[in-house]
Amino acid sequence: MTTITKNLTNTPKALPPSDQLGFGQHFSDHMFVAKYTEGKGWSEASVVPYGPLSLDPGASVFHYGQALFEGMKAFRKESGEVVFFRPEFNYHRLAEGAARLCLEAPPMDLFMEGLHQVVAADERWIPKGPNTSLYIRPTLIGSEPFLGVRPSRETLFFILLSPVGSYYSEGTKPIKIWTEEKYLRAAPGGLGAVKAGANYASSLKAALEAKKKGYAQVLWLDVEHQGIEEVGTMNVFFVFDNEIVTPALNGSILSGGTRDAILQLLRSKNLPVVERRITITEVVDRLAKGELKEAFGTGTAAVISPVGVLHYQGKDWTINNNENGPLSTQLYNEITAIQRGAQADTLNWLVPLKK
């Protein structure tokens, strides 16, 4: 495997208070970087002090948007042990996304070794407080400088670390969401199924407009403005009286690690969960009939975020009295207990940090 060198900082930063972290506000002391060059392979793999990258302004990422990232977490268990949550899931999603964007994915051993080494270098940055963790952002960009549309022959891989608290200012309280009918996040055959930066660029305007109207997130629909896709940066689940439904992965929805973990948990309890197409018309009809008990989003950042208000075509529908529902509360408690080591990891989700 490519050798990883280490150049540790002489000027470590002060740690932010763990009860005031917010999300994505702080970066740790170090980052991992490695470079792929066609014909040469991976080189320059190193843990270095966190700081600016030197990139040619002609780099393909700036012009043709070759940028892909992952979002995953490490936790400090109550015992003090540090664990990653399902890093292989994120590796495979990154590798699939890289193929779609014509970027080079690092081999799995380089990804894992880089991850372990940078987190070990910044172990003191893994916060201890309730609802805190170390958010990890592996990223791939096309770094070759050229003009003219074609895939970059160079890929830069880096991993950033950010200690985080709650994703939403609401904490774990229910959020209000806006059903978006003007803008689309993704379309069949496009990039929706991969974590390309371009998807987030295309989502910003809708999210901004929804926020101005008082909604925390957007509910994305498909090209027909019927099929439900996801909610902002989360997958979505609807709990009806006879079934739990999440939209099937149709090629334009991101295959979330939290979605997958929730499906595993629900199936392990023999609860009636189905992955299928679900339309906004069905949701609103069943809401009107009183059949929708809970709705929640799932994602690495927020884990589970109950939906308290759903706006569709001029009407605000309240779900479960705008309160946290029993199923989302139970799932949130179980996943976070497993992450903290307070509940047995029977589904083998945790990978200990190598020392």
Ligand X SMILES: Cc1ncc(COP(=O)(O)O)c(C=O)c1O
Tell me which residues touch ligand X (CB under 6 A): 71, 230, 233-235, 254, 256-259, 298-300
Instruction: Specify the 3-state DSSP secondary structure of 60.
Output: helix
Q: Minimum distance between the CB of residue 52 and ligand X, rounded to whole angstroms?
A: 25
Q: Minimum distance between the CB of residue 335 and ligand X, rounded to whole angstroms?
A: 11
Residue whose Cβ sits closest to ligand X: 256
State the DSSP H helix or E strand holding residue 43, giving kind and residue range, or none if neither: strand 41-49
Residue closer to ligand X (CB basis): 152 or 203: 203
Percent helix, strand and coil across the chain, each rounded to 5?
25, 30, 45
Q: Minimum distance between the CB of residue 234 and ligand X, rounded to whole angstroms?
A: 5
Q: How close are the terminal C-alpha atoms of the chain, in Å?
A: 18
Residue closer to ligand X (CB basis): 60 or 258: 258
CA atoms of 329 and 338, how far apart (whole Å): 14
Q: Minimum distance between the CB of residue 259 and ligand X, rounded to whole angstroms?
A: 6
CA atoms of 123 and 354, how far apart (whole Å): 11
Residue closer to ligand X (CB basis): 28 or 235: 235
Residue closer to ligand X (CB basis): 166 or 300: 300
Tokens of residue 74, six digits:
């490490």
Residue closer to ligand X (CB basis): 36 or 85: 85
Q: Minimum distance between the CB of residue 231 and ligand X, rounded to whole angstroms?
A: 8
Q: Minimum distance between the CB of residue 36 and ligand X, rounded to whole angstroms?
A: 24
Residue closer to ligand X (CB basis): 36 or 238: 238
E strands, 223-302, in order: 228-231, 235-240, 244-247, 273-276, 292-299
Enumerate residues 6+ apart whose C-beta is below 8 A from 16: 25, 26, 163
The Cα-based distances of 287 to 160, 239, 294, 302, 320 in angstroms read: 42, 11, 10, 25, 10
